[in-house]
Amino acid sequence: MSPIRQKKIVLSGFISSLIIASAVIAYFQFNSELTIKVFSNPKSRYASPATDGQVNHALNSQRVSLGKMLFFDPRLSGSNWISCSTCHNPTMGWSDGLPTAIGEGQQKLKRATPTILNTAFNFLQMWDGRFSSLEEQALGPIASKDEMNQDPDELVKELKAISGYVELFNEAFPGQGVTKETVAASLASFQRTIVSGEAPFDRWINGDEDAISFAAKRGFKLFEGKAHCSTCHSGYNFTDDGFHNIGLKSKDPGRHAVVPLPVTKGAFKTPTLRDVAKTAPYMHNGQYVTLEEVIDHYVRGGDDKSNLSPNFKAAELDEAEKQDLKEFLKTLTGQPREIAVPHLPS
């Protein structure tokens, strides 16, 4: 064998081992990219908030159990037919499965019922953020003609006529008893206990690599990467607590009714994505029935682009990527917590 040919063999051997080595490295890199370690520590970004403990710390168990009764009690409505749980139904992800809510007298409301899951963490309540606390919010649906159609002063009188309630209010609020404020405070206390159970996503960020599929891991990468979802759906509760116009065709002014600035026109609160697979239909007007339709909306870059949020960017995804993103969203469904419907006082 000529020395030149020998050199060639050595060289081609060297090149092919380089190719094999880089293929092996690429293979491991590809797979390790899908493991939690490579992402810039989602554990800290998506960890359960400290407020969980703080919120529960402030809770008083008598107020919580009283609030639970009130939440499930149709006597809170004018007709005695509708309770908070008619619309915020625990078996339907604390929502109602309807495009928009239906209230007293089969009245169709303009907006979809949001889940009350994790409302304890909300900075502001309602699609347009018009209430700043659960206490402030609670009397709204009771008094609203379309929702429960009950005068709160009348309600206080009715509750005072139910001896079981009088006793429970006196125990939970010594010296105060039944008042509009204590009704609101107990409903708020109960709702603060409705927080997410551990989801496969949480197990994954805590180190269990098998908790979610490869497709879902790829979906998470898209969620944080080229689909731009985490710009707004960020942190443990997958919301920035902000208001954005994402290009829905809707005449609802949204946040603009509360804060009249050009940017708030058609802007709505970023909803949590926790348990999102359970809370269809989606958006403030319930216009999308499936997660596929929601993802297609983002891929289209919205429909009414006249006042799009500066944070909104179209998600350039192919069919396989859309599927991966959906698989990721499905990993946010928490372990269901058993909620027994309470016995109501008489």
Q: Which of 72, 315, 324, 330 contacts ligand HEC by CB under 6 A?
A: 315
| 113 contacts ligand HEC (rule: CB under 6 A) | yes
For the bound state, the minimum distance from the C-beta of residue 136 to ligand HEC, rounded and expressed in Å, comes to: 10
Quick check: 304 and 205 in contact, CB under 8 A?
no
For the bound state, the minimum distance from the C-beta of residue 314 to ligand HEC, rounded and expressed in Å, comes to: 9
Choosing from 33, 136, 147, 292, the catalytic residue is: 147
| 232 contacts ligand HEC (rule: CB under 6 A) | yes
60 burial (CB, 10 Å; 0-12 / 13-18 / 19+) is middle
For the bound state, the minimum distance from the C-beta of residue 11 to ligand HEC, rounded and expressed in Å, comes to: 48
Q: Which residues pair with 108 in a beta bridge?
A: 102
Compose the 151-180 pattern: x for residues touching ligand HEC by CB under 6 A, - for all others: ------------------------------
Stretch that binds ligand HEC, among 3-11, 172-180, 221-229, 336-344 (CB under 6 A): 221-229
Stretch that binds ligand HEC, among 24-32, 33-41, 172-180, 244-252 (CB under 6 A): 244-252
CB nearer ligand HEC, residue 200 or residue 271:
271
Q: What is the 3-state secondary structure (H, E, C) of the chain?
A: CCHHHHHHHHHHHHHHHHHHHHHHHHHHHHHHHCCCCCCCCHHHHHCCCCHHHHHHHCCCHHHHHHHHHHHHCHHHCCCCCCCHHHHCEHHHCCECCCCCCECHHHCECCCCCCCCCCHHHCCCECCCCCECCHHHHHHHHHHCCCCCCCCHHHHHHHHHCCHHHHHHHHHHCCCCCCCHHHHHHHHHHHHHCCCCCCCHHHHHHCCCHHHCCHHHHHHHHHHHCCCCHHHCCCCCCCCCCCEECCCCCCCCCEHHHCCCCHHHCCEEECCCCCCHHHCCCECCCCCECCHHHHHHHHHHCCCCCCCCCCCCCCCCCCHHHHHHHHHHHHCCCCCCCCCCCCCCCC
State whether the Cα torsion 200-202-203-208 is positive or negative: positive
| 119 contacts ligand HEC (rule: CB under 6 A) | yes
| 150 contacts ligand HEC (rule: CB under 6 A) | no
| 66 contacts ligand HEC (rule: CB under 6 A) | no
| 227 contacts ligand HEC (rule: CB under 6 A) | yes
Q: Which of 121, 122, 169, 327 contacts ligand HEC by CB under 6 A?
A: 122
Annotation says 316 is catalytic = no
Q: CA 65, 71, 76, 77: dihedral to nearest 10 degrees?
A: -170
Q: Which of 66, 159, 212, 248 contacts ligand HEC by CB under 6 A?
A: 248
Tell me which residues in 74-93 interact with ligand HEC (CB under 6 A). 76, 82, 84, 86-88
| 68 contacts ligand HEC (rule: CB under 6 A) | no
| 270 contacts ligand HEC (rule: CB under 6 A) | yes
Q: Which of 192, 221, 233, 330 contacts ligand HEC by CB under 6 A?
A: 233
CB nearer ligand HEC, residue 199 or residue 315:
315
Report CA-CA distances (Å) from 104 to 40, 125, 154.
Answer: 49, 22, 17
| 202 contacts ligand HEC (rule: CB under 6 A) | no
Tell me which residues in 3-62 interact with ligand HEC (CB under 6 A). none
Q: Which residues are catalytic?
A: 147
- List contacts with ligand HEC (CB under 6 A): 76, 82, 84, 86-88, 101, 103, 109, 111, 113-114, 116, 119, 122, 125-128, 134, 137-138, 141-142, 147-148, 187, 191, 227-229, 231-233, 244, 246, 248, 268, 270-271, 273, 276, 279, 282-284, 291, 294-295, 298, 309, 311-312, 315, 325
